C-alpha cells in the first residue's frame, strides 16, 4: 500500500541491534489491511545488521520511514517517533516483538466510533530461549487482563478500576492513542531510563477523558535472554524506578482526585516507589549517592532519602 500524507496510524518502533527479530516485527505491521499507516523506525545507533534490514524493507514499501540517531535509548527513540508522527492515531511496538493477526483496522474503527483518547488491549507472552523459570512464571500471563473494560470511562477511572482488579499494565505497546490528544497533554518519555512505561502511561491516563479496553491479545511479547526485562542490573532498574516515581508524583501533584479513585491511583504510584526501594537496597553506597546527582530538586532529595536503606543513612 502507498504512503498517504495523513495516515490513520503512525507506528513507532525504536530499533537497537534487533536483526534476529526485526523482519518479523515489521512484516506484522505491514501486513495490516483496511487501514492506512506509516511505520517510523528509529534506528538507535545499531551496530548489527538492523540498518541493512530496515533499508531493504523501506526500499520495497514506502510506508516505512527510517530515522537514525546516536545511541540514546528507547525513551529518546520513542520521543523522536512521536515528533515525526503524521497519523491520527499513534501506537508503539518493540523491535523484538510483533503483532498477531490483522486487527489494527478494527481497533481504529472502535476508537473512532467511541470517540476515545486511548483504546487499551492485551498481549500474550511467549518464551524464546533459556529464560529463568521464575521470570517466565511472572510474565507468562502477566499481559492478559482478567476481564474486559469495554465501556468508555475517564482515564483515571480506568486506572482505578484496573488496579482494583490487579489488571493494570502500563506497557506502552498495549494501547492505541489519539495523536492530537497525546500532543495536547504534552506527555513525553523520560530520557535515558528503563521502566519508562510507568510515567508515560500514567500521565496519559490522568488526562484522558474517554478510555476503553478490549480483551484482545494483539501484541506478541517475546520473553528472551538479554532483553530489557530479563537483562536488567540493579543500578539501571533503581534509576528507572526512582526517576519514574518522581515524574509520577509531580504529575499527580496538580490533580485533585475524587475519593473513590484516589486510593487505587495511590497504589499504582506506591508500586513504583516500592520498585525503587527494593532495587536501591542492593546498591553500594557510592551508587546510591550517584542517584542524588540525577535530580537536585528538593522533592527529589527527600524522595531519595526516604528510599535509602537504613544502613546508608547518615548518623
- Say what the pLDDT of residue 184 is: 97
CATH architecture, range 9-223:
Alpha-Beta Complex (3.90)
- Say what the pLDDT of residue 311 is: 53
Task: List average pLDDT for each run of 10 residues in the chain, which is 315 residues long.
Answer: 85 97 98 98 97 98 97 96 97 97 97 98 95 92 97 98 98 98 97 96 98 98 86 88 97 89 96 96 92 94 90 44
- Residue pair 222/100 in contact by the 8 Å Cβ criterion: no
- Residue 73 CA to residue 57 CA, distance in Å, equals 23
Local structure of 262: helix, strand or coil: helix
Enumerate the domain spans of the chain. 9-223, 234-312
- Residue pair 52/39 in contact by the 8 Å Cβ criterion: no
Rg (CA), the chain: 20
Dihedral over Cα of 217, 218, 224, 226: its sign: negative
- Say what the pLDDT of residue 313 is: 44
- Residue 82 CA to residue 71 CA, distance in Å, equals 17
Integer angstrom CA distances of residue 164 from 132, 158, 159, 261, 265: 29, 10, 9, 9, 9
- Say what the pLDDT of residue 1 is: 67
- Residue 304 CA to residue 22 CA, distance in Å, equals 39
Phi, psi of 163 (to 5 degrees): -65, -40
- Could you please report the per-residue DSSP string of 126-143? EE-SS--HHHHHHHTTTT
3-state helix, strand and coil shares in percent for the chain, rounded to the nearest 5: 45, 15, 40
- Say what the pLDDT of residue 85 is: 98
Amino acid at each position: 500500500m502507498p504512503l498517504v500524507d495523513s495516515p490513520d496510524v503512525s507506528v513507532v518502533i525504536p530499533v537497537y541491534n534487533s536483526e534476529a527479530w526485526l523482519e518479523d516485527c515489521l512484516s506484522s505491521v505491514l501486513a495490516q489491511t483496511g487501514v492506512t499507516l506509516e511505520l517510523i523506525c528509529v534506528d538507535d545507533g545499531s551496530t548489527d545488521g538492523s540498518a541493512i534490514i530496515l533499508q531493504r524493507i523501506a526500499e520495497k514499501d514506502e510506508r516505512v520511514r527510517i530515522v537514525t540517531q546516536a545511541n540514546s535509548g528507547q525513551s529518546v527513540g520513542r520521543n523522536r517517533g512521536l515528533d515525526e508522527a503524521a497519523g491520527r492515531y499513534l501506537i508503539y511496538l518493540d523491535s523484538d516483538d510483533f503483532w498477531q493477526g490483522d486487527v489494527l483496522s478494527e481497533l481504529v474503527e472502535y476508537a473512532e466510533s467511541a470517540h476515545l483518547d486511548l483504546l487499551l488491549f492485551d498481549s500474550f507472552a511467549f518464551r524464546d530461549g533459556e529464560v529463568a523459570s521464575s521470570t517466565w512464571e511472572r510474565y507468562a500471563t502477566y499481559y492478559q487482563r482478567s476481564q474486559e473494560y469495554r465501556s468508555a470511562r475517564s482515564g483515571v477511572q480506568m486506572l482505578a478500576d484496573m488496579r482494583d482488579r490487579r489488571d493494570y499494565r502500563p506497557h506502552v505497546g498495549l494501547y492505541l492513542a489519539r495523536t492530537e490528544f497525546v500532543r495536547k497533554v504534552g506527555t513525553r518519555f523520560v530520557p535515558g531510563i528503563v521502566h519508562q512505561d510507568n510515567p508515560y502511561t500514567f500521565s496519559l491516563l490522568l488526562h484522558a477523558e474517554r478510555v476503553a479496553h478490549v480483551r484482545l491479545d494483539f501484541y506478541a511479547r517475546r520473553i528472551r535472554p538479554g532483553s530489557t526485562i530479563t537483562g536488567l542490573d540493579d543500578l539501571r532498574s533503581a534509576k528507572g524506578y526512582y526517576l519514574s516515581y518522581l515524574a509520577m508524583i509531580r504529575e499527580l501533584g496538580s490533580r485533585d482526585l475524587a475519593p473513590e479513585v484516589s486510593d487505587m491511583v495511590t497504589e499504582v504510584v506506591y508500586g513504583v516507589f516500592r520498585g525503587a526501594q527494593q532495587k536501591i537496597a542492593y546498591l553500594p553506597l557510592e551508587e546510591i549517592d550517584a542517584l542524588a546527582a540525577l535530580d537536585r530538586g528538593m522533592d527529589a532529595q527527600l524522595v531519595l532519602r526516604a528510599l535509602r536503606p537504613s544502613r546508608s543513612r547518615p548518623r
